[in-house]
Amino acid sequence: MTLPVVLLPGSMCDAALFAGQLESLGSAASVGDLTRSSTIEAMAADVLCHAPPVFAVAGLSLGGIVAAEVAAQAPGRVAGVALIDTNLGFADEVQLENRRRWPEVVRAGGFEVLISAFGHMTVDPQTHGQTIVDMARRIGPEVFLRQNQALLHRRDRRNDPASLSCPVLIACGREDSLCPPAMHRDLARRIPQARLSIVDRAGHLSTIDQPEELTSLLAEWLNLCNTNQPMKGTDHEYHQV
């Protein structure tokens, strides 16, 4: 029996973030809803309420933070964790300043102006920028405020996954400036059973920038989750010519 996997999107993203992966993973994959709550803990509880009894969880950015919390809340139900382009630590001062300012911008009617810059989270804004802005529009300003609140007040979860016994994949785009590779290397060092993969020509939304590479990584990780094999091994840096 194929292990179900729940994919958790980043803030202001929906299932389109994982379009390439959903097509390949088929019916085993579903996308969790991170739009209803304004804390990481409550988002994780929402995911667990609707998830299968035993499952693997993969999250990108905000989704990665929630994935770590899901595993912390219910380690016996989680058969594998994939953390993609994410920061399990505190927000830095620049991020904190922005997140404190953004609610005022949104309430003043500046939501469209704010999300117009979201397309630059991909390495190819000309190709993918509109897809990203369209996701943000579908999510809308009210959810933006809830997710922003959750990220503003998140705690440091960098050491939480170290106690997991299931396979852990850590992946990021080499050109992710929001959550850069050094952040993921540090996270991998904290988790004995983790494997780190850095993907070339990918930014913060690596599942969109390099869908085939991310799908391949997730498929390999899921295979190990299905067979309960350790993930630890040679770390990978995927270069393209």
Tell me the range of 91-95, 114-118, 181-185 where mean pLDDT is highest: 181-185
Last residue of a domain, one of 150, 174, 193: 150
* 76 and 195 together in one domain: yes
Q: How many domains does the chain have?
A: 2
Strand pairing report for 168-173 and 236-238? unpaired
CA distances in angstroms from 95 to 142, 168, 193, listed in the order given: 20, 27, 30
User: Looking at residue 34, which CATH number applies to its domain?
Assistant: 3.40.50.1820
Q: First vs last Cα of the chain: how many Å apart? A: 38
* 200 and 125 together in one domain: no
Domain range for 138: 93-150
Report the pLDDT value the prediction gives residue 240, as an integer from 0 to 100. 40
User: Whole-model pTM?
Assistant: 0.94
Summarize pLDDT for 172-208 with one digit per residue, the tens.
Answer: 999 999 999 999 999 999 998 899 999 999 999 999 9
The one-letter amino acid at 50: H
* 55 and 143 together in one domain: no
Cβ-count burial 209-220 (b if 16+ within 10 Å, e if not): bbbebbbbbbeb
Report the pLDDT value the prediction gives residue 149, as an integer from 0 to 100. 97
Report the pLDDT value the prediction gives residue 241, as an integer from 0 to 100. 28
Report the pLDDT value the prediction gives residue 236, as an integer from 0 to 100. 53
Mean pLDDT of the chain, nearest integer: 93
> Do the beta carbons of residue 180 and residue 113 sit within 8 Å?
no
* 38 and 49 together in one domain: yes
Report the pLDDT value the prediction gives residue 227, as an integer from 0 to 100. 86
Summarize pLDDT for 131-188 with one digit per residue, the tens.
Answer: 999 999 999 999 999 999 999 999 999 999 999 999 999 999 999 999 999 999 999 9
Confidence of residue 233 (pLDDT cuts 50, 70, 90): low
* 114 and 187 together in one domain: no
Last residue of a domain, one of 122, 150, 178: 150
* 121 and 231 together in one domain: no
* 125 and 221 together in one domain: no
